[in-house]
Every structure is written in C-alpha cells, then in structure tokens.
Amino acid sequence: MYNPYPAAVVDPFVVSNPKNWRPVITVGFTMKAANEAAIAGVKSEVAEVKAAVVTMDEAAKANQKAIDELIAAKNAKNLETAKRKSFGDSFSEKMAEAFESNQAEIKAFQKDRNAKLILDLKAVGTMTLSNNLTGDGVATYNTRQGLVPSEKINFRDLIPTAQSPTGLYVTYRETGGEGALGVQTEGNAKGQIDYDLTEVKVVSDYIAGFARFSKQMMFQLPFLQTSLQRMLLRDFYKKENATFFTTVSGAATGSTTTSATVDAEQLVDWIANQLNANFNASFALVNYSQWARLLKTKPSDYSVPGGVIIDPAGNIRICGVPVIGASWVTDDKALIIDADYVERVETESLRVEFSYEDSDNFQRNLVTARVECFEDINLLRTDAVIYADFGNAS
C-alpha cells in the first residue's frame, strides 16, 4: 500500500483498522498545509533576495562606471606626466641607451686608455618656460624699495632747539620803553629810561600720525618695519616743515624795503635791511624754482652783483649769507632769518613706536605704528625775520 507520509508517522494499528484513518488523514493534511506555507515563505524570501541582488548589481554597475572614469583620468594624468619628463629623467634615459649601444667601445676603452670613447646622445626636446615649468621661476627680490623721496632739508636742521618739560614755554619780549640815555650836564640829573616787556606763550602741540597693518603682512613683507619707519619719518618732516614755515613767515615783520627789480639785487637789499636792524642774516630760504632764477641772473653786462658768489655745485652766497633751496618754501618768496631769535621748542622728542596693544589689535593680529613729536616753534622777536616777495609771480 502506498504511504504518502513519512514512516515515522505510520502506526500499524492505524493502518489495519479503517476506523482510525480519519484522524490520520486530518493530521496529514494539516502537515501538508504547513509545508506549503513554509515553501511559500521561502519562495518569498528568495524573491526578495533576487530583488536585492538586482539592486546591488545595478549599483555596482553605476559604481563601476565612476571607477572607470577615475581610472581613465588617472591614466591620462600619468600619461601627461610621462610626456613631460624632467631634464634629469630624460638625460638618465639617454645615457643608459648610449651605454647599452656602445658596449664594445666601452670594453675597448677599459683595456686601452688611448682609445676614444664617444657617446652620441640623441637630442631631447627643447625646454621652455611655457612647456616645462609649472608656476613661476625663481625670483630675485630687490633689497631696496621704490619709496617717495624725503625733502632735501628740514627746518629743524637750521635752528636751535630749546627744551620745555611742561609744554608751556614763556618768553618775555621787549616791546617798548620811555626816556633816553644822554650825556650828563654837570650838576644836572641823569636821563631816566624804562622798558616794557610782554609775556609771549608758546604751547607745545603734537605733530603725529599712525599706520596700522596686519601681522600677516609684516611676515610676508620682511622689509615693512624698517621701510614703514622711513615713510612715517618722511611724512612727519613734511608736515613739520610746512607747519614751521607757515608760522614763521606769517609772523615775520622785518623790513622788505627795496628799489631793485633784479632778484639777486633784491636779496642784497633785504640782507642790508636785516643788518641795519642789527640782526644777523643767518641764511635766506627760497624755493628751488627761485634758486634757479638766481643762478640764471643776467644783467646787461652778464655779471652778478658784487658779493654774490656761486660755486660749481650751485651753492649761492650773497654777502656771505647762504641762500638755501627748500621745496617747502613758497615760490617767488625769500625768508631771511636770524637764527639767534628763532628756536624749536621740544617737550617730547620725535619717536616712532610699534604696538600690538592699540584698540583691538591683540584680537585681530594687527600692529600699529605711530610717529609723533610734542613741540612748537618760537620767535623771540618777529622783526628778526624778513619774508619778502621777489615780484616775479602775479
């Protein structure tokens, strides 16, 4: 009899008695349904695995395309690199080829020192900056910088300096008097005189300025600290020269009387005025354009007035008084000074300082460079200075 169920579930008593078949058949059908359900579950899992494999295969194909593109790019780069060999690599290859092809000559040269050995290197490509260099060549940096020039002479170099620790500098200037000295007549009273003095105050001011730059700039431009100091001092002197010239020329009350029309002759008259007032003419300041006009002085007899000396370097002296050119003097003017009566008053000396502690410099990695001097200029007497016009400009 055919048994569709495993032997483990067949009982002889059940088989021999038909009454007992129904329970067995019921159990058999239940197991069959369970097996079919299990098989269906396995099939579902297999279908899911197949779908996942398909997805993975598609992703792998996409990745493979990207990998192929990377490999192709790398191969192209390697090929480009191989095409652009360095001089050393190319030379080594050509030398190896030459040694390989000239073995017989080399062996003969080893045995006979009088033999000639010629290695014929095949020519390589000509190297050029455009074809064989990536980036820039080695630069040579100038140790000097093309800075704006300083003025040739500074006002402070021509006059003395007085110290004022408090910044308030007082001069008592004689401004008048009454009476007169005279020859005494026997038995009569002597002449009586008095003098008037006026207090003149000079209060020091700061001539100052600053520049701010980053520490990164300082490191990348190593010359910055020394060059910046020069630039700050240059601009300080420019401001100081302009300030002092404006103050002195504006206060000058010396006599400008002259009847001459030739520039050199006018200077002679103004120097005479200074001497007549019992002041010295320590020097005369003119602009370089006016200095050039003096050098080109050509009266009718092609000579210069007496007492005018011009040396080969263009230095001019009139009656022993040096005529000094300065770019900060107004053109067509002359400033004649008795240096005993004009002085620079200094409270705090000129200095250039660098600081990391200005404002928020510490937070922002900035550096501040400042230049300053606490000073002023003082005229003991205004009539010790002549500021005159040559009359060449309208």
**pLDDT, tens only, 295-314:** 988 766 666 777 889 899 99
Confidence category of residue 352, pLDDT binned at 50, 70, 90: very high
pLDDT tens for 196-207 read 999 999 999 999
> Which CATH class name applies to 207-389?
alpha beta
C-alpha radius of gyration, the chain, whole number = 53
Q: Which DSSP string do the residues of 354-381 spell out, in sequence order?
A: EES-STTHHHHTEEEEEEEEEEEEEES-
CA quadruple 269, 274, 280, 283: dihedral sign:
negative
Cα 101–Cα 103–Cα 106 angle in degrees, nearest 5: 125
Cα separation of 51 and 54, whole Å? 5
Tell me the H-state helices in 84-140: 87-101, 103-111, 129-132
Q: Would you state the pLDDT for residue 40?
A: 77
Cα separation of 268 and 320, whole Å? 11
Tell me the H-state helices in the chain: 12-16, 21-83, 87-101, 103-111, 129-132, 215-220, 224-251, 263-276, 288-295, 361-364
Place of tokens 């001092």: 233
Residue 76 has pLDDT above 60, yes or no: yes
Q: Would you state the pLDDT for residue 96?
A: 75
Q: Would you state the pLDDT for residue 293?
A: 93
Cα separation of 249 and 336, whole Å? 9
Confidence category of residue 8, pLDDT binned at 50, 70, 90: very low
Q: Would you state the pLDDT for residue 56?
A: 72
Residue 112 has pLDDT above 80, yes or no: no
Cα separation of 285 and 390, whole Å? 13
Q: Would you state the pLDDT for residue 100?
A: 77
Q: Would you state the pLDDT for residue 185?
A: 93
Residue 209 has pLDDT above 90, yes or no: yes
Q: Would you state the pLDDT for residue 246?
A: 98
pLDDT tens for 9-59 read 445 544 455 555 455 455 455 666 666 777 777 777 777 767 766 677 776
Q: Which residue has the higher pLDDT, 140 or 50?
A: 140
Q: Would you state the pLDDT for residue 290?
A: 96
Q: Would you state the pLDDT for residue 136?
A: 93
Q: Would you state the pLDDT for residue 65?
A: 76
Place of tokens 């900035």: 366
* pTM (predicted TM-score): 0.68
Confidence category of residue 365, pLDDT binned at 50, 70, 90: very high
Q: Would you state the pLDDT for residue 183?
A: 95
Q: What's the whole-number average pLDDT of the chain?
A: 85
Confidence category of residue 382, pLDDT binned at 50, 70, 90: very high
The letter for the amino acid at 371 is V
Contact 336, 255 (CB under 8 A): no
Residue % of the chain over a pLDDT of 90: 61
Place of tokens 């003991």: 380
Cα separation of 269 and 260, whole Å? 8
Q: Which residue has the higher pLDDT, 105 or 382?
A: 382
pLDDT tens for 142-195 read 999 999 999 999 999 999 999 999 999 999 999 999 999 999 999 999 999 999
Mean pLDDT of 201-224: 96
Q: Which residue has the higher pLDDT, 229 or 43?
A: 229
Residues whose CB is less than 8 angstroms from the CB of residue 335 and which lie 6 or more positions away in sequence, other chains included: 245, 248, 249, 252, 284, 285, 286, 329, 385, 386, 387
Phi-psi region of 359 (alpha: psi -120 to 50; beta: other; left: phi over 0): left
The residue length of the chain stands at 394
Q: Would you state the pLDDT for residue 6?
A: 47
Residue 238 has pLDDT above 50, yes or no: yes
The phi and psi torsions of 112 (rounded to 5 degrees) equal: -125, 110
